[in-house]
Structure formats: structure tokens, C-alpha cells
Amino acid sequence: MRYGDTEVLHDVSFDAGAGEVIALLGPNGAGKSTTIEILEGFRLRSAGRVEVLGVDPAAGDERWRSRVGIVLQSWRDHGNWRVRELLHHLGSYYAPYATPWPADELLDAVGLAAQAKQKIRTLSGGQRRRLDVAIGIVGRPDILFLDEPTAGFDPEARYEFHELVRGLAVDQGTTILLTTHDLDEARKLAHRILVLAAGRIIASGTASQLIAAADVGSLEDAYLALVRQEHR
Amino acid sequence: MRFRPGWQRGLIELRQSFTNPAELTSHFLWPVLMLIALFFLRHRDFGSTGLLLGALALPSILGMNAAMGMVSMSQLLTADRADGTLLRAKAIPNGMVCYLIGKLVSVAGGLLVDLAILLIPGLIIVDGIALGSAHWFTLVWVLLLGLVATLPIGAVLGSLLTTARSQGLIQLPMLALIAISGIFYPITALPGWLQFIGQLTPIYWMGLGMRSALLPSDAVTVELANSWRHLETAAVLGIWAVAGLLLAPAVLRRTARHESGSKLTDRREQALRRVT
């Protein structure tokens, strides 16, 4: 993947199985968002081979799109819509392909039942984020992409969110790829951690494998050792 | 079935625009101001034509409002791209087409209500306008075809213009086009080359169609060729409609292709920096 003459991703190879949770770690500018956007079909790559659910994301059709869940970092879109109204509406797009998640059930699951009739512009940052997650999974996707899902969450919301993600992977068999700066989150959620630095995957494995490989005491130490080594 | 959410989206947005105070005010403000102006003009003659100025002004005002639908379409699109509505549409199956259908339905619906708010009291205030069933028929087809001809063009403009500032600039050429479209001043009084440009726009033909529906038949003498030219009106508006409907989804898709989560994050950070 390159922008003009600058190659931003050059050695990013991994695969993910059904129900697997993969965390993508790395410093800002390492290429995490670029990687995820290529997989989402939002960005075209300049070289290499990519398959998501057996299809090249650049050529994915609407049926493929219906199986891919994307959690966007929302800002202020749909401010006049009410929470339940938007979730129910967006669910209806999936009806020709699958049975969308009933809006009330899903609002319960993300802890927004009390806000169902509120206008979206009146939600707090954390509540909006949970609505983003609900929108991402309303079509019962087979694969879910989350770009820094818990940025700005308080500890309780974060805990509930982790429970939700775990439930999706275990109960629904959803494959999940998330980027995060929160090492604790990666350790708790991910079956496998990928560390991306300067457009290259420099380490891959479970938290304990990464710790053992770096011969240190914690995931934080292992991560810092890996990233500093890359800087040198 | 696949595009039904688009229709529903339009109806939901339409309902929202009539249930929130800010948008409700904007729906009523202009029609009410125009009606006040019409009220004071209602006995004034226009030159030697024997026609009442109010009667001449009503179809013009309708025509202008309808043409401005193109501008609001364009502005809404730019705003929806900036705030991430378009990106969300892109992330769901059939999202872009449904988004476009929804926008056409909500803008056209809102415009038709606005026009009714103006037209119904206008017919009571203004003398010299006769509306038989044939006139109503003309009014309806010209309006509907005119909206299908202009709103997709608005969507194309909105996809091409990226910032709120360029949206401000688009208003000037639009007003210029309205000025030469015969809506406010008979096109026959303009020099030939301006007449030619005016007749290329859908705005002229919408205005002509409205005048043909609302004015008495002797008003046709100020028109080109002394004719309401219904066939030509249908043909020109039809061509614009087909071109717009073919072009809009493609242009919108091209625009959306450049949208991504990181673009949106950049824009949000820029906006926050501007505030602080």
C-alpha cells in the first residue's frame, strides 16, 4: 500500500478464522487504520492479495457488504434521529440478506435501552460509541471491524463492551478485528495480538507468547521493547 | 425490496423536518413573507398588459422556490458528507442508493409542502388566477417532472463541491440563472444570447410550465413564440431528469469512494481545532 512514493504498508500478512478475536496494536501512524480500511473495502490497496469472507474487498458486492460489520467512530451524523429509530431503520437494509437483530434486544445488549427514544444529538460520547457498536452488528455480521472502539469509555462501559465483544465471538462465531492503544484491552479480548510498526507486522501471538518472546514481565513491557527496537 | 429503506428514510427525514422548531420555522418563514408581499401587490396592474402584478408574481415565486430545491439538495449533501452520514451509508448494503432515494423523497416532499403553504392562501389573496382541472393537471406534472429534473442535479453539485464555503458560492450563479430564466421578468425582453442560455436550464421550463398553469391564456403574449410550448417543456425537463438520474448515483459513488473513517477523524479534529 502506498501514497504517492511513500509505502505505508509493506509486510502485513495474517489470516483470521471464524470466531477469532484479533487485536492490532501499534504506535500512531503505524498503518493500523489503513490496514482496517483496506479490509473494509473503504480503501484500495496498491499491491498484495486480500480476501475477506472469500472475496476481495475492493470487489465486494452488496451481499458481501451485508456480512461485514463496521463500527465507525461517529461524530455528529443523524443528530435528529432517535436512537431506536435509527437502529431499526439501519437494520432494515439487511433484511434481504439475513434476519437483522431486533432493535430493542440490541439496545439492551449495549446498555442503551433507557436512551431508546432520545435524540442522538443528546447522547454522551460513550453512549454514541455504544450506538456505533450496535449499528455495526445490527446485521449479524460474520466479521466485525472496530477501530479504537473504547476510546473515551469509562471503566464500567469498557467492561460491558468487553463482555459484548466476547459474547459475539463465542455465541455468534463472529470474527473480530480491532485496533486499540489499550494493552489491557488487547490482553483481555484478543486470541491473538499483532503488533504493527512502520507498516510492518513485527510480532504476532498471544499475550503470553509475546511476553515470553521478549523475556519481560508484562505485555506493556513486551510492546515497548518491540516498538523501541523498531525505532532504532 | 432492496431499496425500500430509501423510501422509508425519506419519509422519516420529512417527518423530522416538520417536527423540529428550527426547520419548521424555515418551512413557514419564506412562504409567509412572500404572501405578505403578494397581499400588498394584489391590486397593482403590471404595465399595459392588463394583468395584475400579483397574478404574475405567484407562479414566479413558485418557480423560484422549486428551483432553489436544487440548492438545498446540494447543501444537504455536502453537510452529510462532512458529518459522516455518507460514510455510514457506505458501510451498509445498498446504503448509497437508499441514501440518494431518501434525500430525493425528503427534499421533494418538503418542497411540495412549502409550495402548498404558499399556493393555497396565494390563490385566495390574488385575483386573476383561474385554476380549472386542466390547469391543476399541468401544475402537477410540471412540478413533479421539474423536481425529478432538478434535484438529482443538486445531488451532483453537492457531491462535487466539498466545503460549506463553495456551497455559499453556488448560490450566486443559481440566482443569475433564475434571473435570466424568465421567472421574474419576461424572457422576451432579454437579448438573444441570454434567452438561449436561459432556455438550456430546467429552471426556465419549470417557470414557463407554472405560468402556463396559473396565468390566463392571454398572458402567453410575453412568452417566446407566443406559446406555452408544453411539448418542449416535457422534452427538456425529461432530458434533464434522465441525465441527472443517470449521473447522480455514479458521481455520489465516486465521492463516497474517497470517504473513510480516518478522513472523518481528520475533519473532526480540524473542526475541534477551529472551535478552540
Considering only CB atoms, which residues of chain A are within 8 Å of chain B?
33-34, 36-37, 40, 42-43, 62-63, 65-66, 70, 72-78, 80-81, 85, 89-90, 92-97, 135, 139, 147
Query: What is the average per-residue pLDDT within A121-131?
Result: 88
SS3 state of residue A26:
coil
Residue A33: its chain B contacts at CB < 8 A?
261-262
Q: At the top level of CATH, which class does the domain A2-53+142-231 belong to?
A: alpha beta
Better pLDDT: A30 or B76: B76
Q: Which of A32-46, B22-36, B100-114 has the highest mean pLDDT?
A: B100-114
A167/chain B closest Cα distance in angstroms: 22
What is the spatial distance between Cα B89 and Cα B91, in angstroms, rounded to a whole number? 5
Q: B22 exposed, middle or buried (CB, 10 Å; 0-12, 13-18, 19+)?
A: exposed
- pLDDT tens digit sequence for B227-253: 889 999 999 999 999 999 999 988 888
> Are residues B91 and A97, on separate chains, in Cβ contact within 8 Å?
no
Phi, psi of A110 (to 5 degrees): -100, 5
pLDDT at residue A94 above 60? yes
Confidence band for A2, pLDDT divided at 50, 70 and 90: low
Mean residue pLDDT of chain B comes to 86
Confidence band for A97, pLDDT divided at 50, 70 and 90: very high
Strand-pairing partners, residue A193, are: A23, A205
Query: What is the average per-residue pLDDT within A65-91?
Result: 91
CA nearest to A151, candidates A135, A133, A177: A133
Query: What is the average per-residue pLDDT within A95-113?
Result: 92
Answer whether B72 touches A (CB < 8 Å): no
What is the spatial distance between Cα A31 and Cα A24, in angstroms, rounded to a whole number? 10
Q: What's residue A61's pLDDT?
A: 93
Confidence band for B276, pLDDT divided at 50, 70 and 90: low
Choose among B88, B92, B262: nearest Cβ to A37: B262
Q: Is the ipTM of this complex over 0.85?
A: yes
Enumerate the CATH 3.40.50.300 domain ranges in chain A, comma separated: 2-53+142-231
- pLDDT tens digit sequence for B5-32: 999 999 999 999 998 888 888 888 888 8
